């Protein structure tokens, strides 16, 4: 059964720092890995999708990498800003007995960027 773990659970950094959020998954038979942002009491905003044939994706100050063999993905945020404060979730979509489309989520990393 796929398990997704995110470390750290919470992170507080001063504005301007570059930071890395980690995501690990137990079953490497994934189709895709998707990173989301969740603001308190709100829905999930898709940030980046990495397909299994890709190793990384970039959008603005965000860069996500995927290493299927080691079961890891990282989200790199450059030059962090207070507006980046949110919970960041990673989710793996996999070939777990045909359940394509079923995203398995980690519990998230709660990021606080201090001015």
Partner 1 sequence: EPEVTQTPSHQVTQMGQEVILHCVPISNHLYFYWYRQILGQKVEFLVSFYNNEISEKSEIFDDQFSVERPDGSNFTLKIRSTKLEDSAMYFCASSGAGVEQFFGPGTRLTVL
Q: Using CB under 8 A, list all residues that contact partner 1.
A: 31-32, 34, 36, 41-46, 49, 51, 89, 91, 93, 98-108
How far apart, in whole angstroms, are the C-alpha atoms of residue 49 and residue 72? 14
* Choice between 75 and 80, CB closer to partner 1: 75
Shortest Cβ 110–partner 1 spacing (Å): 11
Measuring CA to CA, how many Å separate 89 from each of 51, 56, 97, 98, 115? 17, 17, 24, 23, 23
Shortest Cβ 39–partner 1 spacing (Å): 10
Shortest Cβ 36–partner 1 spacing (Å): 7
* Choice between 89 and 111, CB closer to partner 1: 89
* Choice between 18 and 46, CB closer to partner 1: 46
Indicate the SS3 state at residue 107: coil
* Choice between 83 and 98, CB closer to partner 1: 98
Tell me which residue of 11, 29, 22, 33 sits closest to 84, measured CA to CA.
Answer: 11
- Taking CA 2 as the corner, what is the angle to CA 94 and CA 92, rounded to the nearest 5 degrees? 45
């Amino acid at each position: 059964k796929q398990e997704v773990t995110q470390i750290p659970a919470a992170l507080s950094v001063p504005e301007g720092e570059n930071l890395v959020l980690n995501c690990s998954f137990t079953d490497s038979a994934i189709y895709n890995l998707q990173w989301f942002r969740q603001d308190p009491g709100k829905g999930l905003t898709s940030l980046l999708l990495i397909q299994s044939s890709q190793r990384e994706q970039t959008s603005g100050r965000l860069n996500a990498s995927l290493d299927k063999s080691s079961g890891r993905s990282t989200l790199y945020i450059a030059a962090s800003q207070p507006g980046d404060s949110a919970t960041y979730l990673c989710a793996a979509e996999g070939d777990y007995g045909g359940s394509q489309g079923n995203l398995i989520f980690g519990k998230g990393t709660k990021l606080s960027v201090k001015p």
